[in-house]
Amino acid sequence: MKRYLCILLCLLLAACASNPRLQAVRALADDAPKLSGFNDLSQRFRDTYQREQPYLNPAAAQREEAIDRKRHDAYPDFIALHSAATTYLRALGALASGDTFNYGDQVKQMAASIKAWPDTGLSDRHVNAYAGLVRLLLRAATAREQDQAVQAMLREGYEPLQGTLDAMHTLLRYFNKNHDNEQRIVLGMLEVEIPYADAPRDRLLAALARSHQQEKLKEYRLLGLRHTLAAQNIDAIRERHAALYRGLDPLPAAGPAGATPPAIPSATATAKGAQP
């Protein structure tokens, strides 16, 4: 009897391992760390004033200091978006692997809700998507029925995750505009002031300033590439998640005879407004 049970177990494990959907879900979950670029750029956005301050005149410094307080207030909500998205992907991957991912404590630490920050593009729609994703994680903490459970989590998590990823993408566009503004402030100040350091006694100062200017140019060029890569990673995960959703088994008819499940949105529809 034990022998037959072992054989049956092996067959079940082999079936799980060969299920293309489960394989695709595990691969998607494995790429969750690629979203970490959003966290790094969120932190850089938060610390903008710290970098700009040496290049600002007193009036501009006072103005930017007020904006700096808003950045620090919004930062926890930005990070919460990333935490919800990656926790969902890791939970989905663990479910597809037949493992137990103990994310209950992590979900409890998440804010039940975040605020809309209209100036950054973070809207009520994004806030609702985040809240829906957190609610799903709380409910799914004990769900363990492999393919059917994976499908249920994909189906219910589709709109919340897509909305959360859209929020992250929208914020990246705002961060990029903020980056461009910082670049204008810093490089503009250096371009204006360096020519005045042309006296022989200021030769060393001028050399150091030009070297600093070149380092800043390099820093901002590389940062632009990081923004592009972070946006591309979000887009890639969003599209792969949408493809998994489109490939779900049809829902059984419910309610009156002839009733059909809702149409699955196309990839074009879900990606609308996602381009940087």
Q: What is the SS3 assignment for 93?
A: helix
How buried is residue 266: exposed, middle or buried, by Cβ count under 10 Å (0-12/13-18/19+)? exposed
Whole-number Å distance between alpha carbons of 112 and 15: 38
Q: What is the SS3 assignment for 81?
A: helix
pLDDT value at residue 9: 41
Residue 120 lies in a domain: yes
Q: What is the SS3 assignment for 264?
A: coil
Which structural domain, as residue segments, surrounds residue 134? 18-248+266-271
Token output for 155: 């189906």
pLDDT value at residue 15: 42
Residue 234 lies in a domain: yes
Residue 215 lies in a domain: yes
pTM of the prediction?
A: 0.75
Of 186, 80, 201, nearest in space to 137 by CA: 80
pLDDT value at residue 75: 95
pLDDT value at residue 140: 60
Token output for 270: 């879900």
Residue 255 lies in a domain: no
How many separate domains does the chain show?
1
Provide block-wise average pLDDT over 10 residues at a time, the chain (276 residues). 39 51 91 95 96 91 92 94 94 79 53 78 87 74 63 91 95 95 92 80 84 92 95 96 90 50 38 36
Residue 12 lies in a domain: no
- DSSP string computed for 133-183: HHHHHHHHTT---HHHHHHHHHHHHHHHHHHHHHHHHHHHHHHHHHHHHHH
Residue 6 lies in a domain: no
Residue 253 lies in a domain: no
Residue 276 lies in a domain: no
pLDDT value at residue 118: 86
Q: Measured at the alpha carbon of residue 192, what is the angle toward residues 196 and 216, in degrees to the nearest 5?
A: 110
Whole-number Å distance between alpha carbons of 207 and 117: 43
